[in-house]
């Protein structure tokens, strides 16, 4: 990981970062921490005028007053692959380059999706409770569960992570389909142009499409009911992609069989209606949350910033900002 720049630019850090990132930033930049600024308006009109870079997370993004109020801002480096909390259109219009951390988390998020799928079908937590409650002693063998081997799985979103999920599912002999904006001619898997149709044809749906206005509630009542009372929904994308109210209703009414959820519409708030249900598995947005993966993400976040100020280039710009690279 690079950490040397001849003259230290000023950096605004938004959100939680790792100690390794903090040490690298302290070496290469003059750092301001958003959470430690008592008066944002005073910062914008004062010290903020010298800020040339922002490091933020995919969850925290960049508040609008910061994005529009820092006159010398040149680059935003996002610690995460998703960047829907950043107004990239406004940034690009202002000539501000935005980067993110693709590829380094593909495998981890894909593994998390399969973990949730298996936890739902094999009733992992139900069986854990079966032991703790004493039911194994009292009642004998636990009820049978379902296998994911040979399962028909639809993947919503067929980018880097979606394709990694497909590759990993092949080890379980799953029959894989996908829905995306366009069909890929090099894919061995079946393409559906209609999401509801795909949901009706598969046993499980894994959501890994970007968040934002274009995909808000893409998984709606019709899609959930098409999956059916034996179907399983896994979401490792963004909570906004799934109509959460419709999901709660589908689970409560038995119109959807299982749900494995790592993301939610109003994080960290999770609907209490989903608590303690035998057919629902909940995790607190941990898709890429391993030491190894977060280190790789952090290194890339730092490297994008350092390379920008050293060479005027970056390693992983978001597509909307490609044209800003010299």
What CA–CA distance (Å, rounded) separates 49 from 66? Answer: 11
* Residues of the chain falling short of pLDDT 50: none
What's the pLDDT at 205? 99
Residues 187 and 318 in one domain: no
Residue 285 annotated to the active site? yes
Query: Got the DSSP string for 31-87?
Result: EEEGGG-S-HHHHHHTGGGGEEEEEEETTT---HHHHHH-TT--EEEEESS--TTS-
Structural domains counted in the chain:
2
Residues 89 and 173 in one domain: no
Residues 168 and 254 in one domain: yes
Specify the CATH number for the domain of residue 136: 3.40.50.720
Residues 174 and 302 in one domain: no
What's the pLDDT at 3? 57
Residues 111 and 236 in one domain: yes
Residues 302 and 269 in one domain: no
Domain extent, residue 186, equals 106-282
What's the pLDDT at 2? 59
What CA–CA distance (Å, rounded) separates 70 from 46? Answer: 10
- pLDDT tens digits, 18-66: 999 999 999 999 999 999 999 999 999 999 999 999 999 999 999 999 9
**Considering the domain boundaries, does residue 154 fall inside one?**
yes
Task: Provide the 3-class DSSP secondary structure of residue 22.
Answer: helix
Residues 34 and 127 in one domain: no
Residues 265 and 130 in one domain: yes
Residue 238 annotated to the active site? yes
Q: Which one of 230, 267, 292, 310 is the catalytic residue?
A: 267
**Considering the domain boundaries, does residue 5 fall inside one?**
no
Residue 267 annotated to the active site? yes
- Separation of CA 70 from chain center: 28
Residues 158 and 234 in one domain: yes
Q: Which one of 238, 244, 265, 294 is the catalytic residue?
A: 238
Residues 29 and 116 in one domain: no
Q: Which one of 32, 100, 285, 294 is the catalytic residue?
A: 285
Residues 259 and 113 in one domain: yes
What's the pLDDT at 325? 86
**Considering the domain boundaries, does residue 93 fall inside one?**
yes
**Considering the domain boundaries, does residue 266 fall inside one?**
yes
Buried b (16+ CB within 10 A) or exposed e, 291-317: eebbebbbbbbbbbbbbbbeeeebebb
**Considering the domain boundaries, does residue 37 fall inside one?**
yes
Residues 171 and 149 in one domain: yes
CB atoms within 10 A of CB 256: 27
**Considering the domain boundaries, does residue 3 fall inside one?**
no
**Considering the domain boundaries, does residue 72 fall inside one?**
yes
**Considering the domain boundaries, does residue 179 fall inside one?**
yes
């Amino acid at each position: 990981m690079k950490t040397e720049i001849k003259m230290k630019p000023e950096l605004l850090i938004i959100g939680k970062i790792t100690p390794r990132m903090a040490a690298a930033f302290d070496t290469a930049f003059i750092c301001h921490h958003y959470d430690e600024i008592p008066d944002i308006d005073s910062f914008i009109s004062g010290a903020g005028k010298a800020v040339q870079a922002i490091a933020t997370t995919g969850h925290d993004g960049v508040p609008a007053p910061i994005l529009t109020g820092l006159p010398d801002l040149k680059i935003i480096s996002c610690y995460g692959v998703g960047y829907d909390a950043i107004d990239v259109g406004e940034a690009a219009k202002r000539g501000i380059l935005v980067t993110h951390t693709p590829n380094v988390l593909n495998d981890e998020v894909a593994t998390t999706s399969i973990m949730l799928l298996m936890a739902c079908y094999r009733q992992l937590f139900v069986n854990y409770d079966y032991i703790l409650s004493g039911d194994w002693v009292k009642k004998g063998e636990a009820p049978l569960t379902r296998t994911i081997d040979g399962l028909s799985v639809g993947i919503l979103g067929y980018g880097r992570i979606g394709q990694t999920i497909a590759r990993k599912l092949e080890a379980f002999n799953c029959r894989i389909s996908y829905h995306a904006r366009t069909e890929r001619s090099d894919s061995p898997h079946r393409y559906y142009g209609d999401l509801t149709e795909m949901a009706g044809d598969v046993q499980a749906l894994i959501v890994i499409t970007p968040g934002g206005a274009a995909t808000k509630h893409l998984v709606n009542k019709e899609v959930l009911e098409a999956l059916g009372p034996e179907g399983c929904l896994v979401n490792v994308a963004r909570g906004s992609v799934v109509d959460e109210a419709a999901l709660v209703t589908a689970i409560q009414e038995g119109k959807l069989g299982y749900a494995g959820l790592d993301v939610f519409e109003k994080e960290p708030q999770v609907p209490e209606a989903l608590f303690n249900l035998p057919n629902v598995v909940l995790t607190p947005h941990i898709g890429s949350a391993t030491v190894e993966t977060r280190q790789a993400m952090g290194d890339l976040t730092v490297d994008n910033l350092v390379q920008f100020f050293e060479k005027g280039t970056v390693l992983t710009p978001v597509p909307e900002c490609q044209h800003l690279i010299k």
